A and B are shown apart, each in its own frame.
Chain A
Amino acid sequence: MNPFSSGTRLRDMIRAIRACKTAAEERGVVRKECAAIRAAINENDQDYRHRNLAKLMFIHMLGYPTHFGQMECLKLIAAAGFPEKRIGYLGLMLLLDERQEVLMLVTNSLKQDLNHSNQYIVGLALCALGNICSAEMARDLAPEVERLLQFRDPNIRKKAALCSIRIIKKVPELAENFINPAAALLKEKHHGVLITGVQLCTDLCKASEEALEYFRKKCTEGLVKTLKDVVNSPYAPEYDIAGITDPFLHIRLLKLLRVLGQGDEDASECMNDILAQVATKTESNKNAGNAILYECVATIMSIEDNGGLRVLAINILGRFLSNRDNNIRYVALNMLMRAITVDAQAVQRHRATILECVKDLDASIRKRALELVYVLVNESNVKPLTKELIDYLEVSDQDFKGDLTAKICSLVKRFSPERIWYIDQMLKVLSEAGNFVKDEVWHAVIVVITNSSDLHGYTVRALYRAFQTSADQESLVRVAVWCIGEYGDMLVNNIGMLDVEDPITVTESDAVDVIEIALKHHTSDLTTKAMALIALLKLSSRFPSCSERIKEIADQYKGSLVLELQQRSIELNSIISKHDDIRSKLVERMPVVDENPAGDSIPATTASINLPNGVAKPSSAPLVDLLDLNSDDAPVPSSSGGDFLQDLLGGDLSPAPKQSGVNHSPNNGTSVLMDLLSIGTPTQSSPAVPDLLNSGQDSKKPVSPLEGLSSPSSNSIQPTSSAGFAPGIDLLDSFAASPPKQENNGPAYPSVVAFESSNLRIGFNFSKLPGNPQTTLIEATFTNLSPSVYADFIFQAAVPKFLQLHLEPASSSSLPASGNGSITQTLRVTNSQHGKKSLVMRIRIAYKMNNKDVLEEGQINNFPKGL
């Protein structure tokens, strides 16, 4: 005999495992045993098969792989004796890993055993089938199980009933075969058969509408009577639990009645009396009685309305809720959650108690109660409930704060009656549990603050105060840093004071201090630090006196090992030292941000918020900022800002091409910025550019007009600024590359080729009216580069709000072919932000070539600086 296969006794193996002091030791013992069992399996050892399988079950329980024992189970099942089969089936149920081939092999043995003359073997097979049956097995063996539902021994019938449940779950179309036999089980007296029969009927009702109708019609009365008998039955020692006969059967019956009564008045009516009896007569001083009451309440809440019963049920829940036993309180909260859809008013009455449960010592109860409070909140009670929850936030457990914070934030957002309240509550949450607040939440807070222009001052001061006490709450710090960067001047000058606040004295250097603390605090992460750097940039423009200090602070990050910080620091430095003329434009206040009340777009919108101005990353806000479309002082062209932006930057920018270029919501700013920033920078010529401009536009147009603009070799770039377009140069330089001297040179602006396509070239000549530096006269010259004549030639242009454009009539509407002549047209542009912003223009040219309509579009960014 193989020395391994003799093995140890089961008892010895368990002792050896128990004696192990470490997990490694245990693994060693198990490995040895498994090796021995495998060897025995290979030898086809008959004598110890039984014992080996018992060992494998133990090893399996410990969590080691035992799949190799599955075939041994099959061999034992196929054996003749009961003990072998017994252990074989048990092993099968435990060790099986859903491998189809094993199930296929076992089907035949099961079939034989289901027909066995020994009822205990039949019982074994039923039990195994009930636990592991697959759809295929269900189809193969359903007839046997159906037959066994009428077997003489009740112990077989009850198992067959549960087996049937598995079968109809796997193959629902078999359900109808089981309706009649299942109904027959409901008439039995044997508790085991009744409880399983009732369960089978419940599952049949779920699987088939037909079954539900059948049981409703034929069995409701019978079930009510059965329940009545069980409720009123005399003492039965075998089933008695705390003076109640078989509470499990009670509960199953109540569950089935619930299914039958739901949505059917007659059936509900039929069970009213017995439900009332159960609800009033059941002893509630023991767990078993409470279990029944709990189920009874669930049934009353689900069946068709009966006012009296509902009152009874709500009263029971009220009693449960004030019970000292935590288990009872837990189920009460659970039940109230379901009751709220039925009778919200009744649940509201228990609000104070539920709120107390949120503060319970027990995490399970807190969780339930919090979820309940969450659904209880509405517009009318949001303020007091939120106050309670926020007050509790201060003292709650660390591990509960996450859940609690999420729920409070969601409630405040959903039901906030006014912005100031929203901001107040969110600042409280941020100060109290800022570390638990999710990113999208503080993003949303920033969006709301941005859009509440009358509260900017109030908010920034509140944040400044909060920062003094709660500087350890990361998301509070971020929001504070952002707001101080944006509204630092309002903080210092007490602008926009509300009646409710006390004035505070903050100097410019105090404000910078806050940012510096945030930047240097050891707990601040990359996002916070990056935001702080940007805030510093903004403050350097808002507080010119602190500019030097800010530069020094930022310079410390020039050598940062974190690329993001290093880059920002260097950019900041370059803006402060080299591009002072555009700094104020770069860091202007954020305009109103798209705020979707549904909340799903908030993360998307706000994602760009921590990407600040002047950084070459796609972001909607900076773009809007750059163009300053919302500045109120500028004369407003007829189109609205949003549409105008669309118009300016390329008609329809949405991914799906549409024909009209106007009246789109300005939600595509993100890619537009990329576009805008990449124009003219050869290193960045983004593939999106031609795409954007082509979408929704004339498809006949052979070349995108913008390609001419973005190509470095194109002569469209004006000579003076061409140096700025050399590869590798700082992106910002391209905006500010023009020497400021030129401004004094009067009309000496160079001519530019504003637009060039394969068919058309447009040149611009500039001149200034004396004594009116804001206004520029542009003489546009159109030249036809194609061999065909253009008829009906129309030139259109659009500019951002800060510009005003007037077009004089064109010299002609027909453009001769091949450059043999040209059309001229004068444009008068008035720049309300003269000296601060450069001209920018979007153009559209329409004409007929060979009687075909042609439309060309483009954008002109290469205006000389200082116009």
Chain B
Amino acid sequence: MGIRFILMVNKQGQTRLAQYYEYLTLEERRALEAEIVRKCLARNEQQCSFVEHRNYKIIYRRYASLFFLVGVDNEENELAILEFIHLLVETMDRHFGNVCELDIMFHLEKAHFMLEEMVMNGCIVETSKSNILAPIQLMDKTY
């Protein structure tokens, strides 16, 4: 299992989406999110996209006002995860059309559905955007 959690956080450090692939209690999650968000948001553009925190490696990428943070274990390929974040954003862009913080907030369940199609149990399931979006579009059409 490579990916431990995926977070989307705004510039102010507020969580906008959180998906964990291992069990953490509510308190642990809150503490973890606060710590890593503080660490990542303090870094500048020139610094690398990887931060080590406890036994996690956080790979993060910033898109306008939104930060995407992925926590992985030591085995994972950091550059690939960086690429994966980009794929995730492109997929959301294709669905929402230039995705922004509000899209994710007001369509939290849809964002989760997309993520579900891409990552399961910490592993990448699908990398084709049309395959990822097919079930969601089908749902939109039917209902």
Contacts and interface: CB of A to CB of B under 8 A. Distances in A.
Interface of A: 11, 14, 18, 54, 57-58, 61-65, 82-83, 86-87, 90, 94, 97-98, 120, 123, 127, 130-131, 155, 158-159, 162-163, 165-166, 169, 191-192, 195-196, 199, 238-239, 241, 246-249, 251-252, 287-288, 290-291, 294-295, 298, 326-331, 334, 361-365, 367
Nearest to B83: A288
B100 interface: no
Contacts of B80: 247-248, 251, 291, 295
Contacts of A14: 105-106
A360 to B, nearest CB: 9
Contacts of B130: 238
Given A294-B77, A361-B47, A367-B52, A82 B121 contact: no
A736 to B, nearest CB: 57
7 contacts: A63-B15, A86-B109, A94-B112, A169-B1, A248-B80, A361-B46, A364-B52
A83 B126 contact: no
Contacts of B64: none
B113 A86 contact: yes
B127 to A, nearest CB: 5
Interface of B: 1, 15-19, 21, 23, 25-26, 29-30, 33, 43, 46-52, 77-80, 82-84, 87, 105-106, 108-109, 112-113, 116, 120-121, 123-131, 135, 138-139, 142-143
**What 3 A-B pairs are tightest by C-beta distance, nearest first?**
A291-B79, A326-B48, A362-B47
B48 A364 contact: yes
A327 B57 CA distance: 13
Nearest to A365: B48
Contact of A239 (B51, B78, B127): B127
A349 to B, nearest CB: 23
B47 A54 contact: no
Nearest to B29: A63
Contacts of B29: 63
- Listed residue (B116, B121, B126, B131) with the most chain A CB atoms within 10 angstroms of its CB: B121
A137 to B, nearest CB: 13
Contacts of A163: 120-121
Contacts of A87: 109
A10 to B, nearest CB: 8
A94 to B, nearest CB: 8
Given A57-B112, A83-B143, A94-B19, 14 more contacts: A14-B106, A61-B18, A62-B15, A63-B15, A159-B120, A165-B121, A169-B1, A191-B126, A192-B128, A199-B123, A238-B131, A239-B127, A291-B77, A294-B79
Contacts of A83: 139, 143
Nearest to A236: B128
B46 A249 contact: no
B25 A97 contact: yes
Contacts of A238: 128-131
B47 A364 contact: yes
A103 to B, nearest CB: 12
- Listed residue (B84, B109, B112) with the most chain A CB atoms within 10 angstroms of its CB: B109
A178 to B, nearest CB: 15
B97 to A, nearest CB: 19
Contact of B48 (A11, A61, A195, A330): A330
B109 A329 contact: no
Given A61-B108, A327-B49, A158 B79 contact: no
Given A82-B139, A251-B80, A294-B79, A364 B125 contact: no
Contacts of B135: 120, 123, 155
B25 to A, nearest CB: 7
Contact of B116 (A58, A90, A295): A90
A329 B47 CA distance: 11
Contacts of A98: 23
A287 B77 contact: no
A14 B113 CA distance: 19
A489 B46 CA distance: 56
Given A291-B83, A327-B82, A166 B106 contact: no
Contacts of A247: 80, 83
Contacts of B48: 326-327, 329-330, 362, 364-365
Contacts of B47: 326, 361-364
A165 B78 contact: no
Nearest to A288: B83
Given A192-B131, A251-B77, A364-B51, A61 B15 contact: yes
Contacts of B126: 155, 158, 191-192, 195
Nearest to A199: B123
Contacts of A58: 105, 108
A131 B83 contact: no
A252 B126 CA distance: 12
B83 A65 contact: no
Contacts of A123: 135
Contacts of A120: 135, 138
A343 to B, nearest CB: 21
A287 B84 contact: no
A169 B108 CA distance: 30
B120 A130 contact: yes
Contacts of A367: 52
Contacts of B113: 86, 90
Nearest to A83: B143
A361 B17 CA distance: 31
B78 A131 contact: no
A367 B53 CA distance: 12
A155 B131 contact: yes
A199 B75 CA distance: 13
Nearest to B7: A61
A17 to B, nearest CB: 9
B54 to A, nearest CB: 13
Given A14-B105, A86-B139, A162 B79 contact: no
Nearest to A50: B109
B140 to A, nearest CB: 11
A331 B78 contact: yes
A594 to B, nearest CB: 36
A63 B26 contact: yes
Nearest to A11: B106
A326 B116 contact: no
A290 B79 contact: yes
Nearest to B126: A192
B50 A191 contact: no
B59 to A, nearest CB: 9
Contacts of A162: 120-121, 123, 125
Contacts of B17: 61
B98 to A, nearest CB: 20
A241 B87 contact: yes
Nearest to B2: A199
A88 to B, nearest CB: 11
